[in-house]
Amino acid sequence: MISRRNLLAAAAAGAALPLAAPGVLRAQTRDLRLGLITPPGHPWNTTAQKIGEVLKEKTGGKLTMTVFHAGQLGNEGAMMQQLQTGALDLAFLQAAEVGNRVPNVAAILAPYVVRSTEACAKLVRQPIAMRMLEPLPKETGTIGLAWGITTIRVVMSAKEITGISGLNGMKLRINTTPAFRDFYSLLGAAPTPIPTPQVFDALANGQVDGLEADLDLCWNQRFDKVSKVLMRMNAVFMPMVALASGRAWQSLSSEDRALITAATKEALDIQIDNTVTDEPKLLKNFEGTEIKIIVPPEADAAPIIAEYDKIWTPKAPILPELRKIGATLG
Protein backbone atom coordinates (compact mmCIF):
# COMPACT_ATOMS: atom_id res chain seq x y z
CA MET A 1 0.00 0.00 0.00
CA ILE A 2 1.39 3.41 -0.93
CA SER A 3 0.86 5.93 1.81
CA ARG A 4 0.25 9.60 1.21
CA ARG A 5 3.27 10.36 3.41
CA ASN A 6 5.56 8.23 1.24
CA LEU A 7 4.26 9.78 -1.97
CA LEU A 8 4.65 13.32 -0.71
CA ALA A 9 8.14 12.55 0.59
CA ALA A 10 9.12 11.09 -2.75
CA ALA A 11 7.75 14.12 -4.60
CA ALA A 12 9.61 16.50 -2.32
CA ALA A 13 12.83 14.60 -2.72
CA GLY A 14 12.55 14.72 -6.49
CA ALA A 15 11.73 18.41 -6.59
CA ALA A 16 14.36 19.54 -4.12
CA LEU A 17 17.48 18.10 -5.71
CA PRO A 18 19.20 19.88 -8.65
CA LEU A 19 19.74 18.50 -12.14
CA ALA A 20 23.47 18.28 -11.51
CA ALA A 21 23.03 15.88 -8.58
CA PRO A 22 26.10 13.69 -7.98
CA GLY A 23 26.11 10.77 -10.36
CA VAL A 24 25.81 7.23 -9.07
CA LEU A 25 26.70 3.96 -10.70
CA ARG A 26 23.42 2.25 -11.48
CA ALA A 27 23.38 -1.50 -11.14
CA GLN A 28 21.06 -1.91 -14.12
CA THR A 29 19.53 0.08 -16.92
CA ARG A 30 15.94 1.26 -16.78
CA ASP A 31 13.73 2.35 -19.63
CA LEU A 32 10.97 4.70 -18.49
CA ARG A 33 7.64 4.65 -20.33
CA LEU A 34 5.96 8.00 -21.05
CA GLY A 35 2.55 8.24 -22.68
CA LEU A 36 0.65 11.13 -24.26
CA ILE A 37 -2.19 11.58 -26.73
CA THR A 38 -0.77 14.23 -29.08
CA PRO A 39 0.65 13.18 -32.46
CA PRO A 40 4.34 13.20 -33.43
CA GLY A 41 5.43 16.73 -34.30
CA HIS A 42 3.32 18.34 -31.59
CA PRO A 43 5.42 20.47 -29.18
CA TRP A 44 4.58 18.20 -26.24
CA ASN A 45 5.93 15.18 -28.11
CA THR A 46 9.13 16.98 -29.03
CA THR A 47 9.55 17.96 -25.38
CA ALA A 48 9.05 14.38 -24.19
CA GLN A 49 11.70 13.15 -26.58
CA LYS A 50 14.08 15.85 -25.38
CA ILE A 51 13.63 14.71 -21.76
CA GLY A 52 14.56 11.18 -22.82
CA GLU A 53 17.69 12.46 -24.55
CA VAL A 54 18.76 14.40 -21.46
CA LEU A 55 18.24 11.40 -19.18
CA LYS A 56 20.24 9.14 -21.49
CA GLU A 57 23.07 11.66 -21.73
CA LYS A 58 23.22 12.45 -18.00
CA THR A 59 23.26 8.76 -17.01
CA GLY A 60 25.47 7.38 -19.75
CA GLY A 61 22.57 5.36 -21.11
CA LYS A 62 21.61 3.77 -17.80
CA LEU A 63 18.32 5.69 -17.71
CA THR A 64 16.39 5.94 -20.99
CA MET A 65 12.82 6.71 -21.98
CA THR A 66 10.40 5.39 -24.58
CA VAL A 67 7.70 7.83 -25.65
CA PHE A 68 4.34 6.39 -26.69
CA HIS A 69 2.74 8.97 -29.00
CA ALA A 70 -0.80 9.58 -30.17
CA GLY A 71 -2.61 7.54 -27.54
CA GLN A 72 -0.78 4.28 -28.32
CA LEU A 73 -1.39 3.23 -24.72
CA GLY A 74 -5.04 4.27 -24.76
CA ASN A 75 -6.85 7.49 -23.98
CA GLU A 76 -5.88 9.75 -21.10
CA GLY A 77 -8.19 7.98 -18.67
CA ALA A 78 -6.50 4.68 -19.49
CA MET A 79 -3.07 6.24 -19.05
CA MET A 80 -4.07 7.66 -15.67
CA GLN A 81 -5.04 4.15 -14.58
CA GLN A 82 -1.71 2.83 -15.83
CA LEU A 83 0.10 5.48 -13.80
CA GLN A 84 -1.85 4.46 -10.73
CA THR A 85 -0.89 0.79 -11.11
CA GLY A 86 2.72 1.53 -12.04
CA ALA A 87 2.36 0.05 -15.54
CA LEU A 88 3.27 3.50 -16.89
CA ASP A 89 6.07 5.58 -15.39
CA LEU A 90 5.27 9.05 -16.73
CA ALA A 91 2.60 10.80 -18.77
CA PHE A 92 1.77 14.20 -20.18
CA LEU A 93 -1.95 14.52 -19.47
CA GLN A 94 -4.16 17.48 -20.22
CA ALA A 95 -5.45 19.48 -17.27
CA ALA A 96 -8.93 18.31 -18.31
CA GLU A 97 -8.14 14.71 -17.39
CA VAL A 98 -6.49 15.66 -14.12
CA GLY A 99 -9.27 18.16 -13.36
CA ASN A 100 -11.90 15.45 -13.73
CA ARG A 101 -10.41 13.93 -10.58
CA VAL A 102 -9.27 17.09 -8.75
CA PRO A 103 -11.79 19.90 -9.39
CA ASN A 104 -9.44 22.68 -8.26
CA VAL A 105 -7.13 21.73 -11.14
CA ALA A 106 -10.10 22.17 -13.50
CA ALA A 107 -10.31 25.82 -12.38
CA ILE A 108 -7.39 26.61 -14.66
CA LEU A 109 -9.68 25.74 -17.59
CA ALA A 110 -12.25 28.41 -16.69
CA PRO A 111 -12.91 30.95 -19.47
CA TYR A 112 -11.12 34.28 -19.36
CA VAL A 113 -8.85 33.47 -16.41
CA VAL A 114 -6.18 34.68 -18.82
CA ARG A 115 -6.63 36.17 -22.28
CA SER A 116 -3.43 35.46 -24.18
CA THR A 117 -0.88 32.72 -24.68
CA GLU A 118 1.74 34.94 -23.04
CA ALA A 119 -0.45 35.22 -19.95
CA CYS A 120 -0.95 31.42 -19.99
CA ALA A 121 2.83 31.04 -19.85
CA LYS A 122 3.01 33.33 -16.84
CA LEU A 123 0.11 31.66 -15.03
CA VAL A 124 1.56 28.13 -15.03
CA ARG A 125 4.75 29.54 -13.53
CA GLN A 126 2.95 31.14 -10.60
CA PRO A 127 3.23 29.40 -7.19
CA ILE A 128 -0.53 28.77 -7.28
CA ALA A 129 -0.08 26.47 -10.29
CA MET A 130 2.16 24.03 -8.43
CA ARG A 131 0.01 24.38 -5.31
CA MET A 132 -2.94 23.11 -7.32
CA LEU A 133 -1.03 19.86 -7.90
CA GLU A 134 -0.29 19.16 -4.24
CA PRO A 135 -3.40 16.97 -3.70
CA LEU A 136 -2.48 14.63 -6.58
CA PRO A 137 -0.62 11.96 -4.56
CA LYS A 138 -3.61 11.50 -2.26
CA GLU A 139 -6.33 11.90 -4.90
CA THR A 140 -4.76 10.15 -7.89
CA GLY A 141 -1.65 8.28 -6.77
CA THR A 142 0.45 10.46 -9.07
CA ILE A 143 2.96 13.27 -8.62
CA GLY A 144 2.78 16.52 -10.60
CA LEU A 145 6.24 17.45 -11.83
CA ALA A 146 5.58 20.50 -13.99
CA TRP A 147 3.16 22.26 -16.33
CA GLY A 148 3.25 22.67 -20.09
CA ILE A 149 0.99 24.75 -22.33
CA THR A 150 -0.43 25.14 -25.79
CA THR A 151 -1.52 28.32 -27.48
CA ILE A 152 -4.79 29.77 -26.26
CA ARG A 153 -7.62 27.98 -28.02
CA VAL A 154 -9.52 29.16 -31.08
CA VAL A 155 -12.77 28.19 -32.78
CA MET A 156 -12.65 26.97 -36.37
CA SER A 157 -16.04 27.34 -38.04
CA ALA A 158 -17.21 25.73 -41.26
CA LYS A 159 -19.91 28.40 -41.56
CA GLU A 160 -19.71 32.16 -41.59
CA ILE A 161 -19.80 33.71 -38.12
CA THR A 162 -18.96 37.24 -37.00
CA GLY A 163 -18.53 36.81 -33.25
CA ILE A 164 -19.36 34.84 -30.12
CA SER A 165 -23.08 34.99 -30.87
CA GLY A 166 -22.41 32.85 -33.93
CA LEU A 167 -21.77 29.88 -31.64
CA ASN A 168 -25.44 29.78 -30.66
CA GLY A 169 -26.90 26.62 -32.15
CA MET A 170 -23.56 25.46 -33.55
CA LYS A 171 -22.64 21.78 -33.36
CA LEU A 172 -19.19 22.32 -31.93
CA ARG A 173 -16.58 19.65 -31.45
CA ILE A 174 -14.98 20.29 -28.06
CA ASN A 175 -12.73 18.63 -25.54
CA THR A 176 -15.21 16.70 -23.40
CA THR A 177 -14.10 18.14 -20.06
CA PRO A 178 -17.05 19.54 -18.06
CA ALA A 179 -15.22 22.86 -17.73
CA PHE A 180 -15.32 23.42 -21.49
CA ARG A 181 -18.74 21.82 -21.92
CA ASP A 182 -20.31 24.26 -19.47
CA PHE A 183 -18.63 27.26 -21.11
CA TYR A 184 -19.70 26.47 -24.64
CA SER A 185 -23.17 25.41 -23.51
CA LEU A 186 -23.61 28.84 -21.92
CA LEU A 187 -22.79 30.29 -25.34
CA GLY A 188 -25.58 28.22 -26.88
CA ALA A 189 -23.37 25.72 -28.69
CA ALA A 190 -24.17 22.03 -28.81
CA PRO A 191 -20.97 20.37 -27.55
CA THR A 192 -20.21 17.37 -29.77
CA PRO A 193 -17.39 14.99 -28.79
CA ILE A 194 -15.55 13.46 -31.75
CA PRO A 195 -12.12 11.73 -31.66
CA THR A 196 -9.37 13.95 -33.05
CA PRO A 197 -8.55 11.70 -36.07
CA GLN A 198 -12.18 12.01 -37.23
CA VAL A 199 -12.60 15.77 -36.86
CA PHE A 200 -11.39 16.78 -40.34
CA ASP A 201 -13.91 14.52 -42.07
CA ALA A 202 -16.65 15.54 -39.61
CA LEU A 203 -16.13 19.19 -40.57
CA ALA A 204 -15.98 18.36 -44.26
CA ASN A 205 -19.23 16.37 -44.29
CA GLY A 206 -21.21 18.66 -41.98
CA GLN A 207 -21.37 16.29 -39.02
CA VAL A 208 -20.18 19.28 -36.96
CA ASP A 209 -20.21 22.99 -37.73
CA GLY A 210 -16.92 23.76 -36.04
CA LEU A 211 -14.38 22.84 -33.41
CA GLU A 212 -12.33 24.45 -30.68
CA ALA A 213 -8.64 23.61 -30.30
CA ASP A 214 -5.19 25.13 -29.95
CA LEU A 215 -3.47 26.68 -32.94
CA ASP A 216 -0.81 23.97 -33.11
CA LEU A 217 -3.38 21.23 -33.60
CA CYS A 218 -5.45 23.32 -36.01
CA TRP A 219 -2.45 23.93 -38.25
CA ASN A 220 -1.01 20.42 -37.87
CA GLN A 221 -4.36 18.96 -38.98
CA ARG A 222 -4.97 21.76 -41.54
CA PHE A 223 -8.51 22.41 -40.35
CA ASP A 224 -8.38 25.65 -42.35
CA LYS A 225 -9.06 23.56 -45.45
CA VAL A 226 -12.54 22.68 -44.14
CA SER A 227 -13.28 25.93 -42.28
CA LYS A 228 -14.31 29.42 -43.28
CA VAL A 229 -13.59 31.34 -40.07
CA LEU A 230 -10.95 31.21 -37.35
CA MET A 231 -12.26 33.02 -34.26
CA ARG A 232 -9.65 34.07 -31.72
CA MET A 233 -11.83 34.10 -28.61
CA ASN A 234 -8.88 34.48 -26.20
CA ALA A 235 -11.02 32.65 -23.67
CA VAL A 236 -9.68 29.22 -22.71
CA PHE A 237 -6.49 27.25 -22.86
CA MET A 238 -5.58 23.64 -22.17
CA PRO A 239 -2.37 23.25 -20.20
CA MET A 240 -0.76 19.89 -19.60
CA VAL A 241 0.53 18.32 -16.40
CA ALA A 242 3.66 16.17 -16.47
CA LEU A 243 2.85 13.30 -14.10
CA ALA A 244 4.89 10.56 -12.50
CA SER A 245 3.42 7.32 -11.23
CA GLY A 246 3.60 7.21 -7.44
CA ARG A 247 4.41 3.50 -7.55
CA ALA A 248 7.16 3.97 -10.12
CA TRP A 249 8.50 7.01 -8.26
CA GLN A 250 9.07 5.01 -5.10
CA SER A 251 11.14 2.48 -7.01
CA LEU A 252 13.58 5.14 -8.22
CA SER A 253 16.62 6.40 -6.36
CA SER A 254 16.58 9.95 -5.03
CA GLU A 255 19.20 10.86 -7.64
CA ASP A 256 17.02 9.53 -10.45
CA ARG A 257 13.95 11.32 -9.12
CA ALA A 258 15.92 14.56 -8.98
CA LEU A 259 17.21 14.09 -12.50
CA ILE A 260 13.78 13.32 -13.95
CA THR A 261 12.13 16.22 -12.12
CA ALA A 262 14.71 18.78 -13.17
CA ALA A 263 14.95 17.54 -16.76
CA THR A 264 11.16 17.69 -17.07
CA LYS A 265 10.92 21.21 -15.65
CA GLU A 266 13.74 22.51 -17.81
CA ALA A 267 12.36 20.98 -21.00
CA LEU A 268 8.85 22.27 -20.31
CA ASP A 269 10.17 25.73 -19.52
CA ILE A 270 11.62 25.74 -23.03
CA GLN A 271 8.36 24.38 -24.43
CA ILE A 272 6.40 27.16 -22.74
CA ASP A 273 8.72 29.86 -24.08
CA ASN A 274 8.67 28.35 -27.57
CA THR A 275 4.88 28.24 -27.58
CA VAL A 276 4.73 31.98 -26.89
CA THR A 277 7.33 32.65 -29.59
CA ASP A 278 5.70 30.37 -32.15
CA GLU A 279 2.14 31.69 -31.84
CA PRO A 280 2.70 34.67 -34.21
CA LYS A 281 4.24 32.26 -36.73
CA LEU A 282 1.18 30.01 -36.57
CA LEU A 283 -1.14 32.96 -37.03
CA LYS A 284 0.92 34.07 -40.02
CA ASN A 285 0.50 30.60 -41.50
CA PHE A 286 -3.27 30.97 -41.24
CA GLU A 287 -3.13 34.50 -42.63
CA GLY A 288 -1.56 32.98 -45.73
CA THR A 289 -4.68 30.87 -46.35
CA GLU A 290 -8.18 31.81 -47.43
CA ILE A 291 -9.62 31.55 -43.93
CA LYS A 292 -11.11 34.66 -42.32
CA ILE A 293 -9.65 35.54 -38.89
CA ILE A 294 -11.85 37.43 -36.41
CA VAL A 295 -11.37 38.64 -32.82
CA PRO A 296 -14.64 39.28 -30.93
CA PRO A 297 -14.87 42.25 -28.51
CA GLU A 298 -13.76 41.49 -24.94
CA ALA A 299 -16.94 43.10 -23.60
CA ASP A 300 -18.89 40.12 -24.92
CA ALA A 301 -17.28 37.97 -22.23
CA ALA A 302 -18.55 39.63 -19.03
CA PRO A 303 -22.01 38.00 -18.78
CA ILE A 304 -20.56 34.56 -19.51
CA ILE A 305 -17.93 34.87 -16.77
CA ALA A 306 -20.58 35.66 -14.16
CA GLU A 307 -22.80 32.73 -15.16
CA TYR A 308 -19.88 30.34 -15.42
CA ASP A 309 -18.53 31.21 -11.98
CA LYS A 310 -21.93 30.54 -10.40
CA ILE A 311 -21.54 26.96 -11.59
CA TRP A 312 -17.86 26.40 -10.94
CA THR A 313 -16.83 28.34 -7.84
CA PRO A 314 -18.65 25.87 -5.53
CA LYS A 315 -16.85 22.99 -7.29
CA ALA A 316 -13.42 24.65 -7.49
CA PRO A 317 -13.04 27.15 -4.63
CA ILE A 318 -9.63 28.22 -5.89
CA LEU A 319 -11.22 29.84 -8.98
CA PRO A 320 -11.64 33.40 -7.54
CA GLU A 321 -7.99 33.46 -6.45
CA LEU A 322 -6.94 32.19 -9.85
CA ARG A 323 -8.92 34.95 -11.56
CA LYS A 324 -7.29 37.62 -9.38
CA ILE A 325 -3.83 36.38 -10.29
CA GLY A 326 -4.74 35.99 -13.95
CA ALA A 327 -5.95 39.58 -14.11
CA THR A 328 -2.45 40.79 -13.18
CA LEU A 329 -0.70 38.87 -15.94
CA GLY A 330 -1.80 40.89 -18.95
Give the tens place of pLDDT for each residue, 95-138.
Answer: 999 999 999 999 999 999 999 999 999 999 999 999 999 999 99
Give the tens place of pLDDT for each residue, 35-85.
Answer: 999 888 889 999 999 999 999 999 999 999 999 999 999 999 999 999 999
Give the tens place of pLDDT for each residue, 241-251.
Answer: 999 999 999 99
Give the tens place of pLDDT for each residue, 251-291.
Answer: 999 999 999 999 999 999 999 999 999 999 999 999 999 99
Q: Is pLDDT above 90 for 312?
A: yes
Residue 16: band (very low, low, confident or very high) from pLDDT cuts 50, 70, 90: very low
pLDDT of residue 28: 77
pLDDT of residue 330: 79
CB atoms within 10 A of CB 44: 24
pLDDT of residue 20: 38
Strand partners, 173: 211
pLDDT of residue 199: 94
User: In percent, how much of the chain has pLDDT > 70?
Assistant: 92
Residue 15: band (very low, low, confident or very high) from pLDDT cuts 50, 70, 90: very low
**Exposed, middle or buried by CB within 10 Å (0-12, 13-18, 19+), for 285?**
middle
Give the tens place of pLDDT for each residue, 184-219.
Answer: 999 999 999 898 889 999 999 999 999 999 998 899
User: Mean pLDDT over residues 172-181, rounded?
Assistant: 94
Residue 22: band (very low, low, confident or very high) from pLDDT cuts 50, 70, 90: very low
pLDDT of residue 196: 82
The more confidently predicted of residues 19 and 30 is 30
Q: Is pLDDT above 60 for 21?
A: no
pLDDT of residue 154: 98
pLDDT of residue 41: 85
pLDDT of residue 301: 81
Q: Is pLDDT above 90 for 13?
A: no
Alpha-carbon dihedral angle through residues 134, 118, 276, 130, given to the nearest 10 degrees: -10
Q: Rounded to two decimals, what is the model's pTM?
A: 0.88
Q: Which domains does the chain have, with CATH numbers?
A: 4-149+238-280 (3.40.190.170), 154-236+282-327 (3.40.190.170)
3-state per-residue secondary structure call for the chain: CCCHHHHHHHHHHHHHCCCCCCCCCCCCCEEEEEECCCCCCCHHHHHHHHHHHHHHHHCCCCEEEEEECCCCCCCHHHHHHHHHHCCCCEEEEEHHHHHCCCHHHHHHHCCCCCCCHHHHHHHCCCHHHHHCCCCHHHHHCEEEEEEECCCCCEEEECCCCCCHHHHCCCEEECCCCHHHHHHHHHCCCEECCCCHHHHHHHHHCCCCCEEEECHHHHHHCCHHHHCCEEECCCCCCCCEEEEEEHHHHHCCCHHHHHHHHHHHHHHHHHHHHHHHHHHHHHHHHHHCCCCEEECCCHHHHHHHHHHHHHHHCCCCCCHHHHHHHHHCCC
Across the chain, mean pLDDT equals 91
